[in-house]
Amino acid sequence: MLEHHPIKYLAPAWFAVIMGTGGLANILFLWQDSFPLGHLFSIILAALVGLLYFCVLVPWVLRWFKYFPYAYRDLNHPLVGNFFVTMPVGTAILGTNIYLIWSKYLSEPLTFSLIFTFWTIAIIGVTFFTFYTTFRMMRAEETPRPEMVNFSWIMAPIANMAVSLIGNPVLELTMKLHPSWSVSVLLINTALFGIGFFLFIFMSAIVFVRLANHPLPPAETIPSFGIFLSAVGLAVSAIIDTSKNAQELGLLASTDLANLIAAVIWGFGIWIVGIIAIISVHQLRKGGIPFSMGWWAYIFPLAAYTICSQKISAAFVTPLASGYTAFLTVLLVLLWVYTFANTVRGAVSGRLFVGTPIAENPQREKRPLDGKTDYGQSALPLK
């Protein structure tokens, strides 16, 4: 039996809305020299991100205190639990908006205090959920069913790499305001990137083995393929920004090699964009992809890849890179408009706040904790 409740059944991945919208705001801000309205739209979206962040954070926190069994059930679900890490990543994206867009209206010390706070929250949250979800996978007593294995499994690795998005701005201001902390901040950012990068390799290998041995996952989880793209975008941005900061600290003589390595990884993203498009079109022709919060798995990864493409365009000045980046931006805007509009419609109608009560079927509630649940509405990655 399904029931409606906006807090009890708040999907853990609601912070993906902040991630995708905040990423788009940064992209439009960086396009303002070529697209004059980019500045205005980036301001509007950044303001929306700030509002949405607290609108989601309050019920997210209340859920842990007032409806802890429901939050705990989701945390231990083999699919849904992977998306709790969107909260610290959403916090990091909010920090990037402050650094890039709002800093011109704030003093430098205040900007540093704010983004340092968000960076710290992101590190604590990402670290906790990474260890928890990894151990949860290891302690499972039975092999999860194929339909339970998709790219949502790489959310924790992605989150570790995503910390660099706010970590490098923190490092830039640290070098100005607190130089003695600089190497420590660089080391923390690099360590988190290393954790995320190697976990990504291990976890994505598991997912690819599943794809090679079983049919495509259910239509509802097809957008999760987009998460694979975020690894490329975050890796490229981290390499470019970290190497630049390391050069300023005197640890590197040049960033040329780092930029070349970043371009190699960025090129792999072209294949990922293509294969995601092919799989999505295939599913649309086969029967469609029903809208759910899972569609936000298209948005943030594409935003991360578009941002890294902007960095590649700055490092390698060529119409090829800038034209491709413009194409990605247009595609992202169209997807964001569709996804955001349907999210608002689903939230207003209440369709995005529906779930199964725990008390009505206690035996079924125990099964998701071990990853043995049947695939159904309650097991969707995003409600």
Taken in order of first residue, the domains within the chain and their CATH numbers are 3-355 (1.50.10.150)
Task: Give the mean pLDDT of the chain.
Answer: 89
Rounded-to-integer distance, Cα 32 and Cα 39, Å: 5
Confidence at residue 367, expressed as pLDDT on a 0 to 100 scale? 42
pTM higher than 0.75: yes
Start-to-end Cα distance in the chain: 15
Give strand pairing partners of 354.
4
Q: Which two tokens stand for residue 93?
A: 């994206």
Residue 178's pLDDT band (boundaries 50, 70, 90)? Answer: very high
Residue 207's pLDDT band (boundaries 50, 70, 90)? Answer: confident
Confidence at residue 200, expressed as pLDDT on a 0 to 100 scale? 92
Cβ neighbour number for residue 110 with a 10 Å cutoff: 13
Rounded-to-integer distance, Cα 93 and Cα 89, Å: 6
Cβ(7)–Cβ(59) under 8 Å? yes
Residue 383's pLDDT band (boundaries 50, 70, 90)? Answer: very low
Confidence at residue 295, expressed as pLDDT on a 0 to 100 scale? 92
Residue 10's pLDDT band (boundaries 50, 70, 90)? Answer: very high
Maximum mean pLDDT: which of 98-102, 209-213, 215-219, 353-357? 98-102
Cβ(201)–Cβ(274) under 8 Å? no
Residue 359's pLDDT band (boundaries 50, 70, 90)? Answer: low
Rounded-to-integer distance, Cα 260 and Cα 256, Å: 6
Rounded-to-integer distance, Cα 172 and Cα 264, Å: 25
